Structure 1
Amino acid sequence: MPLITQCCRETIEAPKATEPRSTTLIAVGSNDYYVHQSPFHRFFFSPSAFQEVAPKSFTEHLIACTIVNWAQDKFTEEDLNTIASSFASHDDVWNQAFLAVIVLRASGSVSVNVTRDVALVLTEISNNSLQNGPCVIEPLSGDAHAVSRLLDDRYSAFVGGSVRPELTDRSFEWLNIKKRVAVPSRLYNEAIPTRPLAGLRFAVKDIIDVAGLETGCGNSDYRRLYPRKRSSAPCIQQLVDAGAIFVGKTKTTQFSEGQVPLQWFDYLPPFNPRGDSYQKPSSSCAGSAVATAAYPWIDFTVGTDTGGSIRHPAGVCGVYGLRPSTGAISSAGIYPVSSILDAVGLMARSTLMLEAAFIHMVDSSTLVLRPTLPQKKKRYKLLYPVRAKGLKLGEPERWFPFPSEPGEFPDVESQFEDSIRQLEAYTHCTRHAFNLDDLWRETRPNGQSDNLDVATGHIYTVLSTYTCVRETIDPFIADFQASNHGRSPFIDPVVKARQAHGRRISTAEYEAAVQSAEMFSKWINESLFATSDEDELTLLIFPQNWGRPDYRVDADERDLFFSTFSIYSLSYLSGCPDCTVPVGEVERHSKLTEAKMLLPISLSILSPPGTDLALLRLLSDLEKVGILKPPAAGSSMYPTQREAY
């Protein structure tokens, strides 16, 4: 039979005087928890009510319990079982051990008929803001505290976890426990109509400002030099205001440069969880992609994309990655690489999650998104770029194989083909096959080379190095030298070499690259996305990731800079939305583990600038009908289909 006591006081009191913070941990069941220092929503219970249940506490000074808000006049064993089942299925923080003590908050008298051995404290609700869920109470003071479950960052995705000093505060502080992340209960944030993202957890690339934390940009000297930020980037604050829960910052390559794992020196590079866990996670949003792919307790991550920093990591890590229309999300409070090319974007394991988060990050003051068309009026045009006829195998796999010609990876191409046929059937349209190089030669602007590599290959290198060196890197070096008796900061060698190149670019070269970018942007929007039908949505689809092994222990044998046409330039120069879409995985043999592994394959889907919502709604519809399947977290995207792995 339960031990039942009556709480004679439940009040909301003024905050206590601030005391030095300490870290309090508690083990409940088989899990470790961080105890938040501030009283839970400023609630205090009568200490006398907890003296009798103190023997059931997990420490001498703290009692772990479950808060239950109850509106009925009876509370039975069946009710308790229903609550326990619901909490267990909806929350990965609460566990059955919290049921040893139940605080039943009711609006009036309650008849209790519970047979299991629990301690039940009855209290009358004085305020409705205290949510259901796990809690710890100090029996001597009656203070109630929220808890967060401590989870391991086993794939090294995070710079660090974070907590809120106050649950209602707009500022954060670092969790002072290395290699762990504190995750609060989803139950705390349920059923809050004014906060549509309540309970969803997210992490942020460490070039984006979060109030109370340093912005490190992947460089330890940069992190130590500049103070903690007083405010969050507007897009991050919008997510928090909508109820999303920020849990920490993810690792990035230094200053968002492209780096393979062997080129990281300040931090251990993240481990891609897919396959044998020793595949490269790509860059620069490596940490955000890995966190999304590895941890089911992360719902989405926020990153930035200049030349592919969201889309390629999303592809190799087997998650969705959205680079929105340029300017759709404000870049204020974010370390800039190139104001022309930068975009703030998202990663998630579900298109529905991607859409929900994007809607609450949009900056309506900078870009008016085109409204989505009513379902009955939607018409689609599907552009399907193919390789040149007769192209020998081994050439870059930018595009799909030429029709009727065999490709190099038939197991991948068959899955691509299956996905595209389903897309055609759903949108009631037939793909239009074309070769981009041929289209460029036929329609290129006057005075431009007929070779895309020559016409566009230089643009990214110039735009991504010229401005950031002058506006951010060199001022940082000067600030560091002034604070460190002339000593220069440490910068990873490959990054330093690219920055040195940026200093050698002349103003005339930069202005010429800007003109080339504007030219190519105009050509893309007029030659690929132009339509005379306002009710038609043009989609451009191409291969994003072919599932080829790319081991983190291998060096980067590519040139310091790309000098050829980049498929990523279609979106970063035209300003259109570009979404990486995982569509399957393929079996490969790992040279490191000498065993079979499954690697992700993915497509890229683009639509005209400003059509982000239409593109996301289409992808969400495809997920709802089962054409797109949300990948799971872990080594395999679809573990239930691959039980042998």
Structure 2
Amino acid sequence: MALNNSSFLIVDGISYLVHPQPLAKITKPLADSHPIPAVVLTPGGAVSSVDKALRLIDQFASVDDVYSQSFSGTVVLQIIIGSDLGGFLAQFEASGRFSAVYHTAPSTSSNALPPGPYFLSQDSIHQAYRLYEDELDSFIFGVIPEDVLNPKKWYSVLHSLSPSGLWNNIAVPSRLYAKKNPEKPLAGSRMGIKDIFRLEGTRLTMMSRPWTELYGPDEKSAEYTKKLIELGAVIVGKTKMTSFASPEEPTDQWVDFHCPVNPRGDRYQSPSSSSSGAGTSLAGYDWLDFSIAGDSAGSVRAPAPCSGLFSLRPSFDSTSMKGIPLNSPIFDTVGQFGRSLDDLHYIVSHTFENIHRTYSGFPSRILYPREFYPLANAKQQALTEEFIGIFEDFLGIKRTPFSLVEEWEKNPPKEAHGMSLLKYTEKSAFWALCYDYYHSFDQFRHEYRAKFDKDAFVTSVVGFRWHIGKNVTAEEYETYLKELEVFREWFNEHIMGSDSKTLSNAILVMPYGEPNPEYRDDPSPPAVTFPTITEKFISPVLHAPQLVLPFAQMPYYSRISGRVEVRPIASTLIGAKGSDLMLINLATSAFKKASWATSIQTGRYMYPLANNTRNAGPVTANAPITYETKRNAIQKIHEELSMADQPRYSLGKMAQLLGHMFW
């Protein structure tokens, strides 16, 4: 793909990319060699007059962040075979409302471009991409498809810096180009994908300089990446992660690349590890709709509380992991972030295959494990009590306190041979994970040494886990897998399991996230091992979904900003395998009954301050606009255009309805 200086320009103070692919021709070439902004319209129906066309153009600013006022100075009329070309041209040219009027050669309606902002270059029409600067340093690079009409194929890295020269630009196309339909439910949704997802034509960096020295661009996309694109998603870039998706913390453990900036609070809090860029980008950028990541032992669940986002580690084996370098084939899943529960439900329901199960009610038990409660921080515990309380109120039940250790003692599996739960599972999860982690990169280490005659550099965190994995024998690994299977079967039988009516016969409440400040310039503690019975391993071992629900903001005095800031506080729900969507629906229903917000805003605060003790009160007029709301608004424009002969309401009424929205 050839991009040159003329491909980048500024209109109304906004930076743009002119996509190099010509989509259609105008009959009269431009007098100027430089690209100019224009709106493309198809006369007829809802655009049967200049006034109606102007009303439609006025709506573009309400629903599309790519459109700006200067696009309306020039209009391109797409002429459909059989339409009154001369009549339309005469109307628009005589109106005096446009500095220039162009038209295309007659074509069929099926070939017509969607209405919206474009650029004209010589005699061709090109898509307009707005350039946003990645000032949070969340992306490794931005990408654009070489063929916007068939984005399943090759992608190119966007080589463009912000006007300051400090940050990479990320390019996003107009939202008006895409129309959602049953085959393309994600049409136009802008997504960042974590660096573990291969994308044809771009590099997988693994955030490791030795990796980038060894491997070039990928020739195939990961299966999940291809699925997103086939469903209509717009991949805008690859988000940063820790090297080899390890649990590195900023800043001293990030060596080859620099850690993204967490937009919450004083902007100097840790975004946590692994899927850090996926979290910071969605928490910081309104122009991004979804952020796709992955989870082994906390890679999605840990960043969610830090960045103040809803997230789901789904049931194990919910979708294909082909084309993704795995830390562990027994733990790894794709994971999702969302700024609202509705958005999270939408992306999960449309991209995972093995979770679409019907249910007729919600679970009748709330499990409260005493191994994890009460929390050490009294304020966090008090907030958690409120959290559990809204589920007790919604379900009409009280929590069931219990002890995993005591229940094991009451009904010990025979395979444990009398050992306690903590002793039997002491090494099962972490040592098995490290074995997989080490051997998953055997080929990389071998190829790097063969090519460069030296060992590849890895950080102390990666090296610590690889050292453990290297020393686990194959026999020990099989023993650990058996121990995990025994624990999983015991848990499903005695603690929480599947249910034909509710999918899960209980929900398990589990903590996640730290209540105290975690400054990114604090020295990080050395890497350590973890027992199996911890918040990070329970759901992976059970193959169960875990839903992270940020619901409060805790104040702290920042030594960085010298003022009071707030940090997100979250709790989580775990259900039986396959109960993913039920968990999201349950949380949505309970939050709404309690008048708790189900949407989160970007920036310093998750929620407006001072609404209540949690600073997370009811959704107000200032609440964030969700992805689904944006898509529905744009869908109304497409419907108005396609149903012009039987309009449900006038364009003027639609403008009134949508005028308060977005951007």
TM-score, length-normalised on structure 2? 0.83
| 1:600 corresponds to 2:568 | yes
Conservation of the 8 A alpha-carbon contact between 2:449 and 2:456: yes
For residue 380 of structure 1, give the secondary structure of its aligned residue in structure 2: coil
The 3 A distance-change label for structure 1 pair 408 and 138 is closer
| 1:302 corresponds to 2:302 | no
Conservation of the 8 A alpha-carbon contact between 1:383 and 1:434: no
Could you say which residue in structure 2 is the equivalent of 1:347?
A: 337
Could you say which residue in structure 2 is the equivalent of 1:331?
A: 321
CA distance, structure 2, for counterparts of residue 468 and residue 516 of structure 1:
19
Deviating above 6 A after TM superposition, structure 1's stretches of 4 or more consecutive aligned residues are 642-645
| 1:372 corresponds to 2:358 | yes
Please, what is the CA RMSD of the aligned residues? Answer: 2.7
Q: How does 1:54-133 map to 2 (within 5 A)?
A: 60-72=33-45, 79-80=52-53, 82-105=55-78, 107=80, 108-109=83-84, 110=88, 111-112=91-92, 116=97, 118-123=99-104, 126-128=108-110, 129-133=112-116
Match of 2:174 among 181, 185, 190: 185
Conservation of the 8 A alpha-carbon contact between 1:424 and 1:430: yes
CA distance, structure 2, for counterparts of residue 73 and residue 544 of structure 1:
52
Conservation of the 8 A alpha-carbon contact between 1:372 and 1:613: no
Could you say which residue in structure 2 is the equivalent of 1:418?
A: 386
How big is the shift at 1:520? 1.5
Match of 1:176 among 138, 159, 172: 159
How big is the shift at 1:450? 6.2
| 1:611 corresponds to 2:584 | no
How big is the shift at 1:117? 5.5
Match of 2:599 among 627, 630, 641: 630
| 1:37 corresponds to 2:23 | no
How big is the shift at 1:324? 0.8
Match of 1:209 among 192, 198, 205: 198
1:339-383 Cα shifts (integer Å, max 9, x gaps): 1111111111122222222233224xxxx436122xxx3132232
Q: How does 1:432-581 map to 2 (within 5 A)?
A: 432-446=400-414, 447=416, 452-470=421-439, 472-484=440-452, 486-530=453-497, 534-535=501-502, 537=504, 538-557=506-525, 559-563=527-531, 565-581=533-549
The 3 A distance-change label for structure 1 pair 420 and 220 is same
Task: Kindly tell me the number of residue pairs found equivalent between the two proteins.
Answer: 591
Conservation of the 8 A alpha-carbon contact between 2:461 and 2:526: no
Conservation of the 8 A alpha-carbon contact between 1:210 and 1:233: yes
Report the residue type matching 1:459 in the other structure: S
Report the residue type matching 1:502 in the other structure: G
Report the residue type matching 1:371 in the other structure: R
Match of 1:399 among 337, 353, 373: 373
Report the residue type matching 1:290 in the other structure: T
For residue 311 of structure 1, give the secondary structure of its aligned residue in structure 2: coil
Conservation of the 8 A alpha-carbon contact between 1:384 and 1:542: no
1:435-491 Cα shifts (integer Å, max 9, x gaps): 333333333324367654433332232122212322x3232122112222x122222
1:151-210 Cα shifts (integer Å, max 9, x gaps): 111111111110111111322111112522111111111254531111111111111211
| 1:259 corresponds to 2:248 | yes
For residue 33 of structure 1, give the secondary structure of its aligned residue in structure 2: strand
CA distance, structure 2, for counterparts of residue 73 and residue 465 of structure 1:
61
CA distance, structure 2, for counterparts of residue 211 and residue 431 of structure 1:
49
CA distance, structure 2, for counterparts of residue 236 and residue 165 of structure 1:
16
Match of 1:409 among 370, 378, 402: 378
**Percent of aligned positions that are identical:** 27
Deviates more, 1:492-501 or 1:434-443: 434-443
Structure 1: gaps (5+ residues): 1-18, 55-59, 389-397, 402-406
Deviates more, 1:495-504 or 1:337-346: 495-504
CA distance, structure 1, for counterparts of residue 599 and residue 320 of structure 2:
28
Report the residue type matching 1:183 in the other structure: V
The 3 A distance-change label for structure 1 pair 121 and 425 is farther
Could you say which residue in structure 2 is the equivalent of 1:382?
A: 365
1:86-131 Cα shifts (integer Å, max 9, x gaps): 2222222212221121223354333448564543435555444411
TM-score, length-normalised on structure 1? 0.85
Match of 2:28 among 35, 47, 57: 47
Conservation of the 8 A alpha-carbon contact between 2:180 and 2:186: no
CA distance, structure 2, for counterparts of residue 21 and residue 246 of structure 1:
19
The 3 A distance-change label for structure 1 pair 532 and 629 is closer
For residue 255 of structure 1, give the secondary structure of its aligned residue in structure 2: helix
CA distance, structure 2, for counterparts of residue 419 and residue 86 of structure 1:
41
For residue 441 of structure 2, give the secondary structure of its aligned residue in structure 1: helix
How big is the shift at 1:78? 5.1
The 3 A distance-change label for structure 1 pair 45 and 81 is closer
How big is the shift at 1:542? 2.1
Structure 2: gaps (5+ residues): 162-167, 617-663
The 3 A distance-change label for structure 1 pair 492 and 73 is closer
Report the residue type matching 2:281 in the other structure: A
Report the residue type matching 1:47 in the other structure: K
CA distance, structure 2, for counterparts of residue 558 and residue 21 of structure 1:
45
